Amino acid sequence: MEINKFINDDVDVTSLKVLIVDDTPMNLVLMNKLMTFYTFECIYCKNGEEALEAIDNNVIDLILLDIMMPKISGWDILEMNNNNKFGKHIPIICLSALNDSKSIERAKKLGADDWVDKPILSTFFNSMGNVINKYYSKYGDIH
């Protein structure tokens, strides 16, 4: 599945920096395999603490965020992003095995741009394209 078919032609995907946060090593391996086909620069973090450090030290264009993590959860990161703790709003797609309507509604209230159920299916690429297109059309550039 090619993500470029979901992203508008005027978006330069080669400059996107994507932060991928998941505490399950196999999920990071899977995301790494998916992302190697594209020109995104990816940063992989295995917990919320590493994610916060990556956000502090990089210009992040998109976060793919696991919700259920120990210590600093995806919920915590969503709340920080919603409260502009990162200096700007960063688009976030939640990736979670939680697929109940209350969790999805909570994520949307905390500013999540989209939600993809685990295991990740082809809907992930559609979701990612929609979020990138939305921010590009709103701001003219992702950065």
* Tens digit of each residue's pLDDT (9 = 90 or more) over 5-50: 667 777 776 778 899 999 998 888 888 877 766 677 899 999 999 9
Residue type, 44: Y
Paired tokens of 76:
């915590």
Which three-class secondary structure state does DSSP give residue 123? helix
What percentage of the chain has pLDDT greater than the value 90? 47
Question: In whole angstroms, what is the distance from residue 74 CA to residue 64 CA?
Answer: 10
Which three-class secondary structure state does DSSP give residue 11? coil
Question: In whole angstroms, what is the distance from residue 76 CA to residue 130 CA?
Answer: 24
- 8 A C-beta contact, residue 127 and residue 107: no
Q: Report the residue count for the chain.
A: 143
For 29-38, give one letter per residue: b (16+ CB within 10 A) or e: ebbeebbeeb
Tell me: the pLDDT tens digits for 75-89?
A: 999 999 988 888 888
Place of tokens 């620069």: 41
| Total-model pTM | 0.81
